[in-house]
Amino acid sequence: MHNIIVKHPVITVGSIVIILLLSWGFWPKPIFVETIKIKKSPMSVTIDEEGRTRVIDRYVISAPVDGVACRVQLDVGDHVEQGQVLLNITPLDSQVLDPRSRAQTQAQVAAAESALHAAQELARAATEKQKLAYIELERLRPLMDKGVISKDAFDKVVSAANTAEASKRSADFTVEVSHYDLKAKQALLEYTANLSNNGYIERVPIHSPITGRILKVFRKCEGPVKTGEPLLEVGDPSALEIEVDALSSDAVKIKPGMQVKFDRWGGKQSLEGIVRLIEPVGFTKTSALGVEEQRVLVISDFTSPAEVWQRLGDGYRVEAKFILWHDENVLQIPTSSIFRIQDDWAVFVVENNTAKLRKIKIGKRNGLYAQILDGLNLDEIVIDHPANDIENGKKVRFN
């Protein structure tokens, strides 16, 4: 052997180099992996859906008589005051009411007067209910600041106060509509002929029932109209609510008084709200993939200051996040790091540049992160997106 080395040194050195290169080539190399460090941070479990704003109380103004409507001079977005004349209708020639028709019309006027009185009484009851709700809210606010009552109980009181305020506002609008309906009924008695005493053609003025803005103009040009034909739609854009059509399986998890966040509405910061109502009737909607889904409307109110969202209007798009659960200090891990081993969850923990398989127990999950209940500690390093070639005891390297 010594003679061979002496006589053929080049061959010997080349053989040694080849052996070393082969050994280096077949020697197990560490697998490059992505890692993350276990941390504590806020975590929320939410239901995310698209929604849109809508005016709480909107009114369709229709023609009270058959006639010819003048050209509408108002445009969508124009401000109107309560009682303002929006347009006039020139009634068609009508005959004098016969005794039976006049008696029927008088009965309709009497019924409208009674409906107005009933609406006024309901408005008084709603006002008293609102006062009581705000008294309860102011009574519990100091207790909430001292921590005597839970935030959940206080949120329910806030929701009750907001609901009482909305009920009062709706009742006030109902009174205004009853006034408008009474005037419409009285017009049937008042305008039984086209000509006034001095021979001029009388016109029926159409008044705005509320102070707000024009939301829709059904017809702008002059032309004949029939009784009940819609002419204009008015509402108050400063009183908005949000409707979200959620899957029925998600709607059962949402409760009145639950917090909601609204994103991607056009502003820099998220808007806050609270769930007021989950409608008890669902409907079928076909998704973009052609799948029929059962959906339910969830109605929410804004709790953020009005000056923050005042530029929103009727029918604006928002993204709603219903907060089912939230904690400010949660030990969590990305869901991309965990995987199933039979009935257990597991991860690969990096210890001394070696992948170690470890079973863990998780709690709450959202789309990106999972709460760690057992098996991992703070600041431990785990492998993110573990590949199929990673096994227990494999050498790994990472940045």
CATH of the domain at 357: 2.40.420.20
Do 311 and 367 share a domain, yes or no?
A: no
Pair 298, 336 in one domain? no
Confidence at residue 260, expressed as pLDDT on a 0 to 100 scale = 94
Residue 99 in any domain: the answer is yes
pLDDT digits (tens, 9 = 90+) for 197-252: 454 567 888 899 889 899 999 988 888 888 889 999 999 888 899 999 999 999 99
Residue 197 CA neighbour count, 13 Å, CB half: 1
Considering the domain boundaries, does residue 309 fall inside one? yes
360 and 290 within one domain: no
As a whole number, mean pLDDT of residues 315-336 equals: 92
Q: Which residues contact 374 (CB under 8 A, 6 or more apart)?
A: 360, 361
Query: Considering the domain boundaries, does residue 225 fall inside one?
Result: no
**Which is more confidently placed, 327 or 104?**
327
Buried b (16+ CB within 10 A) or exposed e, 48-78: ebebebbbbbbbebbbbbebebeebebeeee
Cα 370 to Cα 96: distance, rounded to the nearest angstrom: 78
Q: Are 392 and 357 in contact (CB under 8 A)?
A: yes
Among the ranges 17-31, 181-195, 207-221, which has the highest mean pLDDT value? 207-221
Strand order of the sheet with strand 67-69? 204-207, 85-91, 67-69, 223-225
Domain that holds residue 368: 31-43+328-397
- Quote the pLDDT of residue 255: 93
Residues near 307 by Cβ (< 8 Å), separated by ≥ 6?
none
Q: Rg of the chain over CA atoms, in angstroms?
A: 36
Q: For residues 59, 62, 64 and 65, what is the CA-based torsion angle, rounded to 10 degrees? A: 180
Label residue 88 exposed, middle or buried (CB < 10 Å: 0-12, 13-18, 19+).
middle
pLDDT tens profile 326-382: 999 999 999 999 999 888 999 999 988 888 999 999 999 988 899 999 999 998 999
Pairing of strands 204-207, 212-217: unpaired
Domain match, 171 and 258 both: no
pLDDT of 104 over the 70 cut: yes
Give domain status of residue 262, yes or no. Answer: yes
| CATH at residue 300 | 2.40.30.170
The pLDDT of residue 193 is above 50: no
Same domain for 343 and 320, yes or no, is no
Q: Are residues 273 and 346 in the same domain?
A: no
In a domain, residue 12? The reply is: no
The answer to whether 363 and 371 are in contact (CB under 8 A) is yes
Helix (H) or strand (E) holding 317, with range, is strand 317-334
Give which of 247, 302, 238 is closest to 270, Cα–Cα. 302
How many structural domains are present in the chain?
3
CA atoms within 13 A on the CB side of 292: 3
Does the pLDDT of residue 258 top 80, yes or no?
A: yes
| Per-residue tokens: 359 | 């079973």
Q: Which amino acid is at 244?
A: V
Structure tokens belonging to residue 182:
């009474």
Average pLDDT of every residue of the chain: 83
390 and 396 in contact (C-beta within 8 Å)? Answer: yes
Examine the domain organization and report whether 301 and 351 are in the same domain.
Answer: no
47, two tokens: 């239901």
Residues 6+ apart with CB under 8 A from 82: 176, 208, 209, 210, 211
Exposed, middle or buried: residue 40 (CB in 10 Å: 0-12, 13-18, 19+)? middle
